[in-house]
């Protein structure tokens, strides 16, 4: 189905190609914010709450997809800015991959009766906390895009965003360290657990880790903007 060009995003794009990216990131962040509650429902075996949260995640993921599709359809072939069209599309793709991954996690948790192994709870909680931290950093970073446009990608705002990018990249390295610990903790007890559940826990851990990978990729895209 061809999207109509009368979409509100078409008007936003005429003002700034970053406005829809920011709107998209806010939707993605709403999805991220449900992760702690989602796993709390797993910890307490509250299946009703789990399904309720999964439904919210599914709706937000669909909303993010719609914004991304509308953005791609309405984006001009050329931009009167020192930013490549393909870099903007890549940025919104990285953001969209975050909500896609969270939806995958919620589907695993609702399709199976998953129980968090006691041996990984501490490290897994640390992973979730670090993921929320880097996601908040990425959100603030994206919200600064308008200010960058106003100052022509230079000056103090340039330096401010550069520091944010550095912060996101440092946080991603921290997440990597936690990922190694939680995977080692799961490996140490996998012989005591149901093999299929172990496989799905590795997948869940991987998907949570992918969130910070996408956010580091977002930071790298912004670094390209600053260097042009």
Superfamily of domain 13-227: Phosphate transport system protein phou homolog 2; domain 2 (1.20.58.220)
Q: What is the mean pLDDT of residues 150-166?
A: 78
Domain range summary for the chain, segments of one domain joined by +? 13-227
Dihedral of CA atoms 169, 171, 173, 179 in degrees, nearest 10, equals -140
4-59 pLDDT, tens digit per residue, is 434 444 444 455 778 899 999 999 999 999 999 999 999 999 999 999 999 999 99
Instruction: State residue 75's pLDDT score.
Output: 77
Residue percentage of the chain with pLDDT more than 70: 87
Q: Which residue has the higher pLDDT, 32 or 85?
A: 32
CA–CA separation, 83 and 88 (whole Å): 7
Is residue 79 over pLDDT 80? no
Q: Which residue has the higher pLDDT, 228 or 125?
A: 125
Residue pair 119/218 in contact (Cβ under 8 Å)? The answer is: no
Is residue 155 over pLDDT 80? no
Residue pair 118/4 in contact (Cβ under 8 Å)? The answer is: no
């Amino acid at each position: 189905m061809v999207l109509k060009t009368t979409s509100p995003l078409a008007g936003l794009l005429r003002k700034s190609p970053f406005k829809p990216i920011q709107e998209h990131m806010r939707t993605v962040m709403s999805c991220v914010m449900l992760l702690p509650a989602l796993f709390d429902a797993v910890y307490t075996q509250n299946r009703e709450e789990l399904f309720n949260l999964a439904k919210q995640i599914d709706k937000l993921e669909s909303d993010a997809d719609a914004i991304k599709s509308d953005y791609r359809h309405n984006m001009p072939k050329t931009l009167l800015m020192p930013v490549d069209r393909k870099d903007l599309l890549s940025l919104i793709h990285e953001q969209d991959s975050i909500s896609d991954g969270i939806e995958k996690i919620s589907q695993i948790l609702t399709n199976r009766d998953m129980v968090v192994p006691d041996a990984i709870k501490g490290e897994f909680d640390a992973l979730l906390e670090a993921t929320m931290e880097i996601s908040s950093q990425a959100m603030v970073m994206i919200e600064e895009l308008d200010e960058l446009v106003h100052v022509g990608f230079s000056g103090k705002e340039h330096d401010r965003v550069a520091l944010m990018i550095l912060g996101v990249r440092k946080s991603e390295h921290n997440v990597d360290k936690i990922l190694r610990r939680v995977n080692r903790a799961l490996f140490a007890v996998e012989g005591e657990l149901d093999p299929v559940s172990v496989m799905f826990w590795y997948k869940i851990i991987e998907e949570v880790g992918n969130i910070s990978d996408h956010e580091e990729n977002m930071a790298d895209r912004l670094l390209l903007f600053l260097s042009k």
